[in-house]
Structures are given as C-alpha cells and as structure tokens.
Amino acid sequence: MAAAAVGALLAAPALVAVSSAPAVALEDNPFVGAGQYVNPDWSALVETAAAEVGDPGVAADMRAIADEPTSVWMDRIAAIEGTERQHGLQWHLDEAVAQSGGSPLVFNVVIYDLPGRDCHALASNGELPATAAGMARYKTEYIDPIAALLNQPEYENLRIVATIEPDSLPNLVTNQSDADCVASAPYYREGVQYALTELYEVGNVYSYLDAAHSGWLGWPDNSGRSAQEFANVIEGSTYGWDAVSGFVTNTANTTPLEETFLPNPDLQVGGGQVKSAGWFEWNPDFDEIDWTAHLYDLMIAQGAPSSIGMLIDTGRNGWGGAARPTAVSTSTDLNTYVNESRVDRRNHRGAWCNPSGAGIGQRPTVTPSGHAESHLDAFVWVKPPGESDGSSVEIPNDEGKRLDRMCDPTYQSSELGGRLTGALPDAPLSGHWFQAQFEMLVANAYPAIG
C-alpha cells in the first residue's frame, strides 16, 4: 500500500467526549425504514477475491453479495484510527453519512476489546490484560475515544447498532472452571457496563448484547444462568434496560437458522427423544430460531421490557451445497436419524473455528417474517464472510492472537468428544482474509446466490 494511502487509513483528529443523556427517543427497531452501511473495505476484498477465482460463475456470485451490509469491527485500540488492513472509525462514519444521502442509515459496529478478551480461546485473545490497568486502558483508550467519535454532531442522524463484546458474558456462565475466565470475570462485567453507559449517552446508539448461540447456551441450566447473568449486568449499569435494545446471537458462528428436518426436540425415534441424540446431547434448542425465542422469554421473565429485539448473524450459517439434506431421514436408529437429517454438517456443535462445509446464510433482512416468537429485529452479517476465525498454525503477530488448537484441522479435541475439529487448513490469523474459506462459503450458500 502506498504511503499516502496508509496515512489516510491512520489519520484521525483528537476528540473530546461529550457526555449527555439522549435527547431523543430511540426507535423500537433501528433497522425499520433505514438503509444499512456497506463497508467499502469488505467490498474491496470481495472484488479482489472474485478476480482471483477462475470460474466466472463463482466470481459473479461473489460480486452479487459485495454490497451486502457487514459490521465494522473495533477489535483493538489501533482499529479506531485505522490499520494497514482497514480504515479507521471516523473514515467509516464519514462514508456512512455519504451513503445515507440524508436518509436514515444503520451503521453496524462491533465493540470487542475487553481486558482478558476471549478467556476460553486463544485465536482471538486481545491486547489488554485482565487487570485494573487493563480496565483503565479499556475505558480511556478504547471506549472513550469511540464514544467521542460517535458523539460528533455530523453523525447524529446515523442509527448506530453496536454488538457488545462477543463471547464475554457467555464465558462467565459456562467456563468458570477456566482460571483465565475467573480472572477476567469482574473486568468483563465492569467493561460491558461501562460500554453500555457511554454508548447510550451518545444518543443514537442501539446496543445489542452478545448472547452466544443455541449450541452453547441452549441447555436449561446454561440458558437460565445466562439470563440471570445478562440481567444482573444490565440492571447494574447506569441506565439499566434503557441502554439495551436487545440481544444478538450466533456472532461469528455457523449454527443454522433452522434445523428444517428436526423441528421437534421431543419427537420419539428408536425409543429416545431427538434431543437425547449424541449430536444434541439433551439440548432442546436446535437452532437460532429456537434460541432467540427461548432467550426472549427468559429475559422477559428477568424484567426486560417487551420491546427488546433479537438479531441473528446469518453470514455463515447457510449450510448449503451437496451435503445439505433434502428430506428427513427414514432411519429408526436415533443417532442415524439425526445425523442424516441435520443441516449442520460439523463434527460437533462446539466446533467453531473455520468449519469445513459452512456456507453463507440468509442475506441481511429487516424484521424477518415467520418467526414471531423470536421477536427478530433483523438478520445481520456481524462477522464479514471471508474473515478467518483463527490461524491453523502459530503465526507471530502484534495483535495478541495465538494458536488455538480448535483451529488446527489435525487436532482431536476433548471438548468435541475426541473428534477432529473439522477446521479448514492454511488459515490466517483471526480477522484476516481467508480466500479459500470465502470460496467455500459462496459455493455452499443457502439460499444459493446465483
């Protein structure tokens, strides 16, 4: 990249945060009546990917989705001003204003830099330690500058939708046997509360708290404790439920929207309930439609207002292609029945890193129909398709990212019942472009692109 271009990416003026209570009421659903920001950085990567493939049909499919809206990730302090790989936040906000043409426009952004980030994974470890010093930097060097930028008057007509700290609070529910998660817990809670408060005071930010996915939190014990954790953190923040527009599930994951041929977890097959099969392990939430409906009810019981909405990341959960089942199994053996019927083709529901066989899912959609119980505000692409989940081998870097064996295709994980991870080989660092993965996602899109 030319020096002038790098300078343009990195340049950003110093700003002073202005803290004030919101002057106007937020929309019930920010996506209604609004366009969405198309990230030129991602669109350019898609165009480059299309130019590299030899099949003109595949290239056409890639270009057909290049203008879909994707989230802008603030995954480290340097991302605020911009890096060699992506423009900074102010550049994106200016571009969003230009794209809006004076009409309502949603700008999707991910807040993702907690101290001790991703305590139970290594591929996306962050830059800040789980210490008081790390917490201070999170507030003053990360959240405060972001809030200051968002609070500039030229951006007041944007509808800023913020995904708040993926995987953070869910880790506090299920991974408290991990010493790193124990150490991170107080900073996760304090950091999320601080982010909610500062972003709410901007006045036009809609915060959606990350709520993992059905294959992580769907079990009754996990889901109940998750709802309590979410409610405790929200109600302990300065503005409580006023600062939360809802929850976002399946962020950067590939859990299907619907298990089309497995609609009933209590159905008896071969003498057992479908949910008791080895694949589901007694988890009654088979997909993200199940989980969002379940989560909504749980949060209402915890005191959430009925206006909360749900977002689902559908960027990589299509599971199309030749391996997708076309009919329910006729087997009378429970495990065979489930394995032949399930849309999700992973080796295990916990296999999260660059899973082989995944495909692009539903395109970003406002108020999707047919799922009233889920109270969906939108299908969104939080994780831009084509960006890696983590490297398959150790790669030296200055981003705090390490090799997680869940990204190693040769690794048999005890967390997956001794199965291979099913991860793609030759993967780059998390967040970096992964050409082979993008080609796979496009080929396996469901609904198909072309």
Does residue 441 contact residue 316 with C-beta atoms inside 8 Å? yes
Q: Which residue has the tokens 């789980």?
A: 130
Helix axes 220-235, 179-200, angle to 10 degrees: 50
Q: For residue 149, what is the enclosing H or E element? A: helix 144-150
pLDDT score recorded for residue 24: 63
pLDDT average, residue stretch 405-414? 96
For 82-147, where are the E strands, in sequence order? 105-111
Question: Is the pLDDT reported for residue 67 higher than 90?
Answer: yes
What residues contact 257, with CB distance under 8 A and at least 6 apart? 287, 288, 289, 312, 314, 317, 361, 362, 379
* 4 pLDDT tier (thresholds 50, 70, 90): very low
- Is 249 in a helix, a strand, or coil? strand
* The pLDDT value given to residue 20: 53
Rounded to whole angstroms, the Cα distance separating 380 from 178 reads: 31
Look up 290 and say whether it is catalytic. Answer: no
pLDDT band of residue 25 (cuts 50, 70, 90) is: confident
96 token code pair: 């969003």
> Alpha carbon of 169 to those of 196, 201, 217, 231, 265: distances in Å?
14, 22, 11, 11, 27
Average pLDDT over residues 64-85: 97
Q: Is the pLDDT of residue 7 over 60?
A: no
Least confident interval from 123-127, 256-260, 316-320, 323-327: 123-127
Is residue 369 one of the residues assigned to a domain?
Answer: yes
Give the pLDDT of residue 23.
56
346 token code pair? 């992973």
> If you average pLDDT over residues 23-31, what whole number do you get?
87
In this predicted structure, what is the pLDDT of residue 257? 99
For residue 430, the model assigns a pLDDT of 93
Q: Do residues 364 and 312 lie in contact, with contact meaning Cβ atoms separated by under 8 Å?
A: no
Which of 167, 313, 344, 377 does the annotation list as catalytic?
167
Residue 126: its pLDDT value, please?
Answer: 84
Distance CA 337, CA 274 (A): 9
Is the pLDDT score of 10 beyond 50?
no
Give 151-198 pLDDT, tens digit per residue. 999 999 999 999 999 999 999 999 989 999 999 999 999 999 999 999
Backbone angles phi, psi at 241, to 5 degrees: -65, -20
Any domain includes 231: yes
Which stretch of 7-11, 56-60, 320-324, 384-388 has the lowest confidence by average pLDDT?
7-11
- Give the lowest-confidence range in 130-139, 220-229, 274-283, 401-410: 401-410
Question: Does a structural domain hold residue 449?
Answer: no
Backbone angles phi, psi at 368, to 5 degrees: -55, 140
Catalytic residue among 285, 290, 389, 408: 389
- Alpha carbons within 13 angstroms on the beta-carbon side of residue 197 total 15
Q: Which of 92, 94, 88, 48 is nearest to 70 (CA)?
A: 92
pLDDT, residue 445, reads 99
Q: What is the arithmetic mean of pLDDT over 252-280? A: 99
pLDDT in tens, 411-438: 999 999 999 999 999 999 999 999 999 9
Q: How far apart are CA 382 and CA 251, in angstroms?
A: 6
Residue 310 · residue 374 · CB < 8 Å? yes
Please check the confidence at residue 128 and state whether its pLDDT lies above 50: yes
pLDDT for 365 beyond 80: yes
pLDDT band, residue 8 (cuts 50/70/90): very low
- pLDDT at position 271 is 97
Active-site annotation holds for 167 = yes
Q: Is the pLDDT of residue 285 over 80?
A: yes
Residue 450 falls inside a structural domain: no
Which residues touch 45 (CB under 8 Å, ≥6 apart)? 386, 433
**Residue found under tokens 């991302």:** 79
243 against 399, higher pLDDT: 243
How high does pLDDT run on average in the chain? 95
Residue 125: pLDDT band by 50, 70, 90 thresholds? confident
* Domain count along the chain: 1
CATH number of the domain encompassing residue 132: 3.20.20.40
CA distances from 436 to 61, 222, 236 (A): 15, 35, 44
Domain residue limits at 353: 3-443
